[in-house]
Amino acid sequence: MLTPKNNANQMRTRILVKIVEKFLNNRFEDADRIPLELRPKGEPFNRCCIYKDRAILKYRCMASMGFAPEDEKDELTSLKEYGQTALKRKTHADNKLSVITDACSACVKSRYMVTDACRGCFAQPCQVNCPKQAISIIDGRSHIDETKCIACGRCQEVCPYHAVIRVPIPCEEACPVGAISKDEFGKEHIDAKKCIFCGKCLHSCPFGAVVEMSQIVDVLKLLNDSDKKVVAMLAPAVIGQFPGTVNQLIGALKKIGFSDVVEVAVGADITTQNEAAEFVEKMANGEKLMTTSCCPAYYKAAEIHIPEIKPFVSHTEPPMYYTAELLKKEQPDCVAVFVGPCLAKRIEAERNPNVDYVLTFEEVGAMLVAGGVQVMDCEPEEFAKISCAQGRRFPISGGVAGAVASLVEGKADYKPVAINGLNKANIKLLQQYATKGCDYNMIEVMTCEGGCVAGPGCIALAKKAAIMVENYVKTGADLKEKQ
């Protein structure tokens, strides 16, 4: 995916930087200045006026502190008060994605629209081909009756003037599982029971109306508590997400208060070994299919939306699990913070007592920015445990299946396929594979197109990050030789 970040994404990073800055300066004493500082008087605004911009910014700040827009009991509660409440809480906020109702533009529901290009022709193929008689000619132009239209798209296909356009609702279009939908006023809402935390709605909303509850304040608090040992577990997708080398990043993270830094790719090597062993065993037992389990959004989707595929999902734990297990064995008193590209890891952490917090690269980036740390100037340090090439390639589509392949070789017949990006069509495909069978026996599923390097919490360009990951893979030892 080669779309650079847009204003809405960039603003989220700026907000996070401000939140860290206000925490470091005076523990949120003047947090209410953030909307004013980000939208100063006299500068251009995006919504109807500067004041609405600022009001929405306040909601976005709240989410960065872990409060959902719907948590608001009194509109006059200040950001300072929210900040102080966040500093007092013992556990992080409930993980969820929310829509800021006042920022949601309630995109038009009608999916097909006749534009000015309609010439009101004699042939009227749109009207003739409409299966629901939804099209009539009003004032010499085609008109679609929204109440009858079933959005089949026939009128668009047959119009010789290309006068019919399809107007999508970006968030609904992006959500692979139908978890986001309109209320009676046209505003979008996320159904927590259906949400798989992929973050696609958050990225696709052109109004920046979707927010996610951050744990950044909770971690900041611990990093600045000298009694606490906070350890960062860096997801394999970390390569290329920051300037400098990953070894310099270890030094940089220690500067902002982490006591130790470990590589989750080490856990990915264990996942590879266990998943390969599980595959060989299952095939020997005559099973027809196995899918990977390490993508937490896919895992959740399989659990609640694709019951057909669920029996085939691998029981091997994801890399974060093994990494946290090793870490807590060695440092039982530490606070384990997973740092990655993924929002769904937050729900995976809920079922793992060894993982205390989950941050995104963007959130850690904001900490480095506000802390004034230049990664490129930091002293490089080595990881205590070094990962192998197999584990390092996990964040790229095809990486997990490839890693498992290297260990299955010669022990079982291996026919892999990669589902690169979970969308509505690929969910149907998975259902078919499970019920009707397929030519493959190993399915790797990654919810983000391109793999974790394209995750919603990433800083770097997916394509560039993928190249950097491949280079890092080349410097790693072969797991086969290590066994």
Phi-psi region at 463: left, alpha or beta (left = phi > 0; alpha = psi -120 to 50): alpha
Q: Is 164 in the site for other proteins (CB under 8 A)?
A: no
Q: Is 460 in the site for other proteins (CB under 8 A)?
A: yes
Closer to other proteins at the Cβ: 6 or 78? 6
Q: Is 468 in the site for other proteins (CB under 8 A)?
A: no
Q: Is 24 in the site for other proteins (CB under 8 A)?
A: no
- Find all residues with CB under 8 Å of 59, minimum gap 6, and list them: 69, 72, 100, 102, 103, 211
Candidates 10-18, 51-59, 206-214, 382-390: pick the segment binding other proteins (CB under 8 A).
Answer: 10-18
d(CA 130, CA 280): 53
Considering only residues 36 to 55 of the shown chain, the ones binding other proteins according to CB under 8 A are 37-38
Residue 5 Cβ, how far from other proteins at the closest point, in Å?
4
Q: Computed from CA positions of residues 421, 423, 429, 432, in that sequence, does the dihedral angle turn out positive or negative? A: positive
Q: Is 376 in the site for other proteins (CB under 8 A)?
A: yes
Q: Is 110 in the site for other proteins (CB under 8 A)?
A: no
Neighbouring C-beta atoms of residue 459, cutoff 10 Å? 18
d(CA 132, CA 154): 11
Is the separation of the CB atoms in 441 and 288 below 8 Å? yes
Candidates 13-21, 343-351, 397-405, 416-424: pick the segment binding other proteins (CB under 8 A).
Answer: 13-21
Binds other proteins by CB under 8 A, chosen from 67, 82, 242, 312: 242
Is the separation of the CB atoms in 268 and 390 below 8 Å? yes
d(CA 93, CA 400): 32
Candidates 71-79, 237-245, 424-432, 439-447: pick the segment binding other proteins (CB under 8 A).
Answer: 237-245
CA distances from 402 to 51, 201, 272, 394 (A): 52, 30, 9, 9
- Find all residues with CB under 8 Å of 424, minimum gap 6, and list them: 176
Closer to other proteins at the Cβ: 304 or 369? 369
Q: Is 10 in the site for other proteins (CB under 8 A)?
A: yes
Closer to other proteins at the Cβ: 125 or 243? 243
Is the separation of the CB atoms in 261 and 339 below 8 Å? no
Q: Is 373 in the site for other proteins (CB under 8 A)?
A: yes
Q: Is 182 in the site for other proteins (CB under 8 A)?
A: no
Q: Is 459 in the site for other proteins (CB under 8 A)?
A: yes
- Find all residues with CB under 8 Å of 108, minimum gap 6, and list them: 167, 169
Tokens of 346: 């937050």
d(CA 206, CA 203): 8
Closer to other proteins at the Cβ: 118 or 454? 454
Q: How far apart are the first and last CA of the chain?
A: 36
Considering only residues 139 to 158 of the shown chain, the ones binding other proteins according to CB under 8 A are none
Q: Is 266 in the site for other proteins (CB under 8 A)?
A: no
Residue 459 Cβ, how far from other proteins at the closest point, in Å?
5
Residue 342 Cβ, how far from other proteins at the closest point, in Å?
18
Candidates 8-16, 314-322, 386-394, 475-483: pick the segment binding other proteins (CB under 8 A).
Answer: 8-16
Q: Is 7 in the site for other proteins (CB under 8 A)?
A: yes
Closer to other proteins at the Cβ: 43 or 413? 43
Residue 61 Cβ, how far from other proteins at the closest point, in Å?
15
Residue 468 Cβ, how far from other proteins at the closest point, in Å?
11
Chain Cα centroid distance, residue 81: 29
Q: Is 454 in the site for other proteins (CB under 8 A)?
A: no
Half-sphere exposure in the Cβ direction for 403 (13 Å, CA): 32
Q: Is 167 in the site for other proteins (CB under 8 A)?
A: no
- Total residues binding other proteins (CB under 8 A): 29
Residue 261 Cβ, how far from other proteins at the closest point, in Å?
16
d(CA 461, CA 146): 40
Binds other proteins by CB under 8 A, chosen from 27, 146, 221, 243: 243
Candidates 25-33, 46-54, 195-203, 373-381: pick the segment binding other proteins (CB under 8 A).
Answer: 373-381
Residue 363 Cβ, how far from other proteins at the closest point, in Å?
10
Q: Is 402 in the site for other proteins (CB under 8 A)?
A: no
Residue 365 Cβ, how far from other proteins at the closest point, in Å?
4
Q: Is 26 in the site for other proteins (CB under 8 A)?
A: no
Binds other proteins by CB under 8 A, chosen from 33, 464, 480, 482: 464
Return residues touching other proteins (CB under 8 A): 2-5, 7, 10, 13-14, 17, 37-38, 242-244, 252, 362, 365-366, 368-369, 373-376, 459-461, 463-464
